[in-house]
């Protein structure tokens, strides 16, 4: 008998069959424990949100509280709940969202991301078919100023400034899931990866823009972020998910730039289920996206560092210094003539700040030069994967490359040979 189930049953008020306020937090912890230990559902695999599973477990507990044998009653109800989920198949949802990528010449009408097609909705269709009904759903929960502005873009009364909404584009994607919340989670993952790919291709090898006329550069390379709001639609809107209530200032992407489009198109589309090298690349892009859109230098540095560490594939026994060395080697290998004394002179500062941030947090100052070159290191490592993606997919070349000590000149020569020849480094 699970102690967590017993403890959760004891939390339920016997008279009113509810949870007393003072026990709510403890009950929530127990529910999460029960889901992990007692419920044979994998939210990712079964495409169901943790919240829906938690509601099912809570309902089973409440309904079992007054039974003669509450544990057996609970298990029977959970078995029925799980069976319904697994044999019912998925429901199809159309998830609609605004994106702060403004309309520009040659902006594609759709993007393929991990087996899903994200399609652009004409702004006129958003206004005529979706905005009012979506607004009724979302604003019914409270009128946050930013959300009010978004859903009343044709109404400027009460002094609201709604001009920023004119520069949003609207998109939709069909997602199959067991509930609307998980469908929106899929859409959130897809848009996070899409914006990361766009930002990577657009800002490759670039340093951050300078905010004029202020002398200090802004933390963000890019304003292009995941949407602040997702709406699940079937025959009508059935749910919404608010990421935050921060305005997304529009970002103009030059889709007429052939070089940028070429860089974007060569990035992998990735399957829905990612593993191996694909998982390394996706996780690194998501860390990069957080770094390039972060509001402060500390968060930007730390996110970019996570991407570098992920690409460098450090083992537990290896020092953080190794990640920087591997990144520098990647840059040298891609362009042997691109020796940059500034990068070498501050490399100890780059990895040293990682330890300072871990222990001291926001009190650590991040020099702008360090952040610039950390992004350059990320760019070099990621480009190396793209150049040798076929070889790295075998895992042998990647393992041989990243498991050698890049501080050794002899190792560097041997790795260059193995990458160029597509052969494994012989055992020492």
Helix (H) or strand (E) holding 376: helix 368-387
In angstroms, the CA 323 to CA 313 distance is 8
At residue 393, the pLDDT reads: 72
At residue 418, the pLDDT reads: 63
Low-confidence stretches of the chain (pLDDT < 50) are 1, 154-161, 215-217, 423-428
At residue 48, the pLDDT reads: 95
Phi-psi region at 272: left, alpha or beta (left = phi > 0; alpha = psi -120 to 50): alpha
Spatial strand order of the sheet with 237-242 comes to 110-113, 116-121, 169-177, 91-99, 229-233, 237-242
* For the chain, domain boundaries: 3-87, 91-257, 297-421
At residue 34, the pLDDT reads: 94
Q: Whole-model pTM?
A: 0.87
In angstroms, the CA 215 to CA 280 distance is 37
Dihedral, 284, 287, 288, 294 alpha carbons, nearest 10? 180
Contact 250, 223 (CB under 8 A): yes
In angstroms, the CA 75 to CA 79 distance is 6
Contact 353, 366 (CB under 8 A): yes
At residue 160, the pLDDT reads: 44
């Amino acid at each position: 008998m699970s102690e967590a189930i017993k403890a959760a049953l004891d939390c339920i008020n016997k008279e009113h069959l509810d949870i007393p306020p003072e026990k709510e937090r403890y009950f929530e912890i127990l529910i999460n424990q029960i889901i992990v230990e007692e419920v044979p559902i994998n939210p990712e695999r079964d495409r169901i949100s943790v919240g829906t599973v938690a509601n099912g477990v809570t309902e089973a507990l409440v309904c079992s509280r007054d039974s003669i044998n509450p544990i057996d009653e609970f298990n029977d109800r959970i078995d029925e709940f799980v069976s319904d989920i697994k044999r019912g198949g998925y429901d199809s949802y159309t998830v609609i969202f605004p994106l702060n990528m403004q309309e520009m010449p040659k902006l594609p009408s759709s993007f393929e991301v991990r087996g899903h097609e994200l399609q652009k909705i004409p702004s006129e269709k958003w206004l005529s078919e979706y905005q009012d009904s979506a607004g009724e759903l979302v604003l019914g929960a409270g009128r946050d100023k930013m959300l009010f502005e978004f859903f009343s873009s044709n109404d400027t009364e009460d002094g609201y400034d709604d001009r920023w909404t004119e520069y949003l584009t609207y998109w939709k994607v069909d997602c199959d899931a067991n509930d609307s919340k998980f469908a929106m989670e899929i859409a959130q993952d897809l848009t996070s990866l899409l914006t990361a790919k766009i930002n990577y291709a657009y800002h490759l090898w670039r340093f951050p823009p300078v905010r004029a006329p202020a002398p200090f550069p802004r933390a963000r390379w890019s304003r292009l972020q995941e949407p602040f709001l997702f709406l699940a639609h079937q025959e009508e809107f059935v749910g919404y998910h608010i990421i935050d209530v921060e305005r997304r200032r529009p970002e103009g992407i030059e889709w007429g730039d052939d070089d940028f489009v070429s860089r974007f198109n060569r990035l992998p589309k990735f399957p829905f289920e990612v593993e191996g090298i694909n998982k390394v690349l996706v996780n690194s892009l998501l860390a990069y996206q957080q770094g390039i859109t972060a509001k402060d230098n500390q968060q930007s540095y730390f996110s970019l560092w996570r991407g570098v560490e992920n690409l460098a594939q450090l083992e537990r026994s290896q020092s953080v210094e190794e990640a920087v060395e591997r990144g520098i080697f990647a840059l040298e290998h891609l362009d042997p003539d691109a020796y940059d004394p500034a990068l070498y002179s501050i490399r100890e500062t780059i990895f040293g700040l990682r330890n300072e941030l871990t222990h001291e947090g926001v009190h650590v100052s991040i020099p702008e030069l360090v952040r610039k070159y950390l992004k350059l290191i990320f760019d070099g490592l990621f480009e190396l994967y793209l150049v040798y993606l076929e070889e790295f997919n075998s895992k042998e070349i990647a393992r041989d490359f990243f498991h050698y000590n890049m501080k050794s000149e002899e190792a560097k020569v041997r790795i260059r040979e193995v990458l160029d020849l597509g052969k494994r480094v012989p055992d020492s």
